[in-house]
Amino acid sequence: MITISVLITYHNEREMLRECLGSLQAGKVQPDEILIYDDASTFPPAPFIPAGIRVRVIRGEQNIGPGRGRNVLLHEASSTYVHFHDSDDWFHAQWCEVVRQRLEENPVDALFTEIASSSTGQAVFDHPFMNYGQSAAERDLTAMAIEGGLLVPSATIRRECALKVGGFRAGLWQSEDKDFYIRLAASGVSWAVESRTLVCIRYRTDSRSHDRAQVWKDGLKCLVHASEELPARYHGNVANAAAKCAYQLYMAGERAASHDAFELCERLGGTSYSWRGAGFRLAARLLGGENAEVVSHFLQKIKSLLGARSEEPNAGR
């Protein structure tokens, strides 16, 4: 028998939690259990829980972060499957109905659904961005987790599989979802994709993920763990991800961390930089990825300065 627990982490999201639970409550099929971890919030969740929905709140007295909070919920859950969710995101009204039906028909270890995003404060489900593709089931889930971005609410997972890999890594404040899905995929779970968009994540400027530098620094830690723990056949995937991470860190001004990411990429055999322009690829072959980034950044600055100069009223006179 399939049972589903929805596990929500909360930290002062207030009315957004009401919207989250309301979107779940709107479905004609409900999960078997809803647990909320209150991560030592100033505004406890109770006033923002809609009437008529059964929820159990577990409160922490110290702020421990979402990864550790999810681990508390994972151990408290009683269902065969768990779905991790942030309290500021929405469910499609058919989320539970579709997920339960799919898992009853084919009880895989992890069912991934499409996700949309919104920055307007209103849920939208018509522009999915996960892009698993029709051939997703034929692809390597571990490689997808390394080079893509399997987000927290994208999956409903067999609880025993999540427990087997140890849940979320306690040492990561950001990018803990990427790390979790890499380890889950590498454990050999069976999986399937539901192409309908059943979750909408909310983009907001005051969220913890808005600190892009910290996201990518913890992302680098995640890739270091992957390089140490995964079989050598995935080193190329980790190298690609490390190179992309290095670029993001460089652009965020985190030059020391960017250097470490480029170094990790080279240590794992390097990458072709196929996603960069031809000029950068040539420079990377001649100078190495990090030096090519320095040159590229310098040339962009020169181009910007020349562009600004040409726009001055008396330029060229």
Q: What is the pLDDT of residues 256-267, one digit of tens each?
A: 999 999 999 999
Q: What is the pLDDT of residue 221?
A: 96
The whole-chain average pLDDT of the chain stands at 92
Q: Is the pLDDT of residue 103 over 60?
A: yes
* Dist CA 67 CA 60 (whole Å): 13
Prediction pTM value:
0.91
* Dist CA 66 CA 85 (whole Å): 10
Q: pLDDT-derived band of residue 317, with 50, 70 and 90 as boundaries?
A: very low
Q: What is the pLDDT of residue 301?
A: 82
SS3 of 116-131: the string is EEECCCCCCCCCCCCC
* Dist CA 112 CA 157 (whole Å): 9
The predicted model gives 161-169 an average pLDDT of 98
Tokens matching residue 270: 């390097």
Q: Dihedral (C-alpha) 185, 187, 193, 198: value to the nearest 10 degrees?
A: -70
pLDDT by residue (tens digit) across 271-310? 999 999 999 999 999 999 999 999 998 888 888 777 655 5
Q: 295 vs 220, 242, 259, 262, 282, CA distance in Å? A: 23, 19, 14, 15, 12
pLDDT by residue (tens digit) across 22-76? 999 999 999 999 999 999 999 999 999 999 999 999 999 999 999 999 999 999 9
Q: What is the pLDDT of residue 138?
A: 59
What is the number of other CB atoms lying within 10 angstroms of the CB of residue 240?
21
CA neighbours closer than 13 Å in the CB half-sphere of residue 303: 6
The ranges assigned to domains in the chain are 4-206, 211-308
Over the range 27-40, which residues count as b (16 or more CB within 10 Å of their CB) and which as e?
Answer: beebbbbbbbbbbe
More confident residue, 304 or 160: 160
Q: Is the pLDDT of residue 98 over 50?
A: yes
Q: What is the pLDDT of residue 308?
A: 59
* Dist CA 300 CA 40 (whole Å): 45
The predicted model gives 179-199 an average pLDDT of 95
The predicted model gives 222-236 an average pLDDT of 98
* Dist CA 269 CA 26 (whole Å): 50
CATH, domain range 4-206:
3.90.550.10
Provide the percentage of residues in the chain whose pLDDT is more than 70.
Answer: 93
